Every structure is written in structure tokens, then in C-alpha cells.
Amino acid sequence: MIDDTVFTVQELAAYLRMKPVTIYKHAKAGKLPRFKVGANWRFKKSTIDRWIAEQEDAETSQTLVKSL
């Protein structure tokens, strides 16, 4: 089942335990998967969770390559 939850900047900041200003910074730079509703950034929980998993996989891969 796909989670259709959509976060605001403040909600995503709480979910990721980051400051809202950092979320804005990363969203503007394209570092977070996001979309706009009018002038406001929004973030789909399912997309953020997938992005987190990809970040973890990339970090694990880098660690494995360094250890070889």
C-alpha cells in the first residue's frame, strides 16, 4: 500500500528531525524530491522514504568500495 501523505516544510522537518530552513535550502537546491502547490513546497512521504533508502544504499556502497 502506498502512503499518500503529503508533508509541508514544517512537517517534513519534524519527520526528518531537521530545521525548516534546512528543508527549504535543500528543496531549493533540488537535493530533496519535492513539488510546489502554488508558492509552497510539498513532499510526498512515499517519495521521501524511497529517497532515504536510496541515500542509505549509496552510503553503504561507498563504504564497501572504500573497504576493498
CA distance 36 to 61: 32
CA distance 25 to 38: 18
Range of the domain at 29: 6-67
* Domain presence at residue 20: yes
b/e per residue 16-51 (b: at least 16 CB within 10 A): beeeeeebeeebeeeebebeeeeeebbbbbebbeeb
* Domain presence at residue 1: no
pLDDT digits (tens, 9 = 90+) for 21-58: 999 999 999 999 999 999 999 999 999 999 999 988 87
Q: In total, how many domains does the chain have? A: 1
* Domain presence at residue 17: yes
* Domain presence at residue 31: yes
User: Do 58 and 52 touch, CB atoms closer than 8 A?
Assistant: no
Output the pTM of the full model.
0.80
